[in-house]
Amino acid sequence: MKFKLGQKVRYKRISKKLKMMEKYLTLKDFREGEDEEKTLERRESIELNKERIGYIAGRRKFTFRTYFQVITDRGDGYEPESEWVQVMDQDYKYAYLVAYDMGKTNYVLEEDLKEEATDVS
């Protein structure tokens, strides 16, 4: 962990979760003759208008990308052929929870954080 709890940081890009129900995959999404694999983005990166200053409040592990594949069971004579969509792999990344205002927080990837100089008076 590069940043410690309570450390002052600056950032201009945040990570937001995408709504999954709007992007839910079914067998209809996998067309005949096309690739049998699909990739679904789970989070998006948003550029802020101006830089924010906040404090590290924690660290979380998120799924950023999911890979799906259609699996076909040919059957054995007694059972009919069946198909379903299966998760094959997922990409994970860590994001820091950054508190920037009274009760407001953002998730920020480590590469988007910059250390803020602390004032020692």
Residue 31's pLDDT band, with cuts at 50, 70 and 90, is: low
Largest Cα–Cα separation, the chain: 81
List the structure tokens of 85.
Answer: 């969509």
- The pLDDT assigned to 21 comes to 62
**Per-residue pLDDT tens digits for 35-75:** 577 788 889 999 999 999 999 999 999 999 888 887 777 66
Which residue from 11, 60, 17, 79 is spatially nearest to 42, judged by alpha carbons? Answer: 17
Summarised one tens digit per residue, pLDDT across range 70-95 is 777 766 666 666 677 778 899 999 99
- Any bridge partners for residue 71, and if so which? 84
Sort 52 into a burial class: Cβ within 10 Å, 0-12 / 13-18 / 19+. Answer: middle
Total Cβ atoms within 10 A of residue 56? 20
Q: What is the pLDDT of residue 59?
A: 94
- pTM to 2 decimal places: 0.74
How much is the pLDDT for 46?
Answer: 93
Six token digits for residue 52: 């924010």
Mean pLDDT, residues 90-101 taken together: 93
Give the distance, in angstroms, between the CA of residue 27 and the centroid of all CA atoms in the same chain. 23
- State the pLDDT confidence band at 16, using cuts at 50, 70 and 90: very high
Q: What is the pLDDT of residue 18?
A: 84
HSE-CB at 47 with a 13 A cutoff on CA atoms is: 1
Q: What does the alpha-carbon distance between residue 113 and residue 8 come to, in Å, rounded to a whole number? A: 10
HSE, side-chain direction, 13 A CA sphere, residue 84: 5
pLDDT(34) > 80: no
